[in-house]
Copies of this chain bind each other. A is one copy, B any other.
Amino acid sequence: MISFESDYIAGAHPKILQRLAETNRECLPGYGSDEYCECARQKILTACRCPDGDVFFLVGGTQTNAVVITAMLREYEGVIAAHTGHVSVHEAGAIECTGHKVLEIPQKDGKIVPAALTRYLHDFYGDENHEHMVFPGMVYLSHPTEYGTLYTKKELEEISAVCAAYHIPLYLDGARLGYGLVSRASDMTIADIARLCDVFYIGGTKVGALCGEAVVFPRHNMPAHFLTTAKRHGALLAKGRLLGIQFDTLFTDDLYWDISRHAISMAEGLKEIFRKKGCRFYLESPTNQQFIILENERMRELEAEVRFGFWEKYDADHTTVRFATSWSTTEEDLEKLERLL
């Protein structure tokens, strides 16, 4: 059985496990105040070219979205997201759980269209009754999106400019940020992200770590007492070293980018195989998640030999499925898949 089910099916990149073992007996203070956390923060800020920024480590993606969003919104504000955004659909109401509405706007290929965002904000403030509505207090986007698609630098600049014009922060969910930035389709660096966003996170869980996400506030704009806010949401790890050591390793010798490049290379191989076999793609994704439309019968045959993700029904006879690659995907996995198709 080979698996392309998701990018979190395997453990951590071996270098991470090795570092955890090497440092295991060291006595370190808790809650992120250890030297590995500090070192990881510095390396991340250097990579992002925002030396005065803040970095805070959290455990998982939904948690990160909830804690960041609630810490940055005011009481009467909600967060704008694409209708297909992870916070809109697949987080079991974690944002609403903090008391804030997700203000859904239409999407295209999983992305917010800058013009639609402008229209939303313009209409909101144009509405006489807007004091009876949820104020838009932040824009949330994921990059890559839930569909594996990417914003262009131009699109992100436009969205960033709209946010600046309306004085609301732009938050980028980078659960799979590495895959986005090393993709051939990318015209951005992580420094561009840091420049254009007010807060974003660099995903660890889906890019080779056991767990962990690094939230970056590029302009020393971390909300006051963010640690307390994190604690209050059950998001503060006692052995903070677990996150610090992992991110320190990921941002040493380009490991984060190497892992990302490997997964993208595997994804390109995967695409090539599906293309050769004449499979249809649900959309063109330049990152590590590929959405394929399979005949239901063929899907069921394949399921006996390969694990992949169910996405949604396409029509009565077809299903959209998701294949994902990660640090653990191998050439042999691809070869086996090719033979099976």
Contacts and interface: CB of A to CB of B under 8 A. Distances in A.
Contacts of A65: 234
A128 B11 contact: no
Given A11-B23, A135-B228, A228-B131, A78 B96 contact: yes
Interface stretch (A26-34, A110-118, A156-164, A283-291): A26-34
A92 B134 contact: yes
Interface stretch (A180-188, A205-213, A258-266, A268-276): A205-213
B9 A27 contact: yes
A67 interface: yes
A91 B231 contact: yes
Interface string A208-249: 001100000000000111011101111111110110000000
Contacts of A232: 75-76, 91-94, 97
Q: Give how many copies assemble into the complex.
A: 4
Pick the most buried of A1, A62, A102: most chain B CB atoms within 10 A of its CB: A62
A9 B25 contact: no
A14 interface: yes
A3 B28 CA distance: 9
A331 to B, nearest CB: 15
B25 A8 contact: no
A3 B27 contact: yes
A234 B62 contact: yes
A240 to B, nearest CB: 9
18 contacts: A10-B27, A10-B28, A11-B239, A12-B24, A17-B20, A20-B20, A20-B210, A21-B21, A27-B307, A60-B237, A66-B233, A75-B223, A91-B132, A92-B131, A92-B133, A93-B99, A98-B99, A127-B312
Interface of A: 1-3, 5-6, 8-12, 14, 17, 20-21, 23-31, 59-67, 70-71, 74-76, 78, 89-94, 96-102, 104, 127-129, 131-135, 205-206, 210-211, 223-225, 227-229, 231-239, 241-242, 307, 310, 312, 328
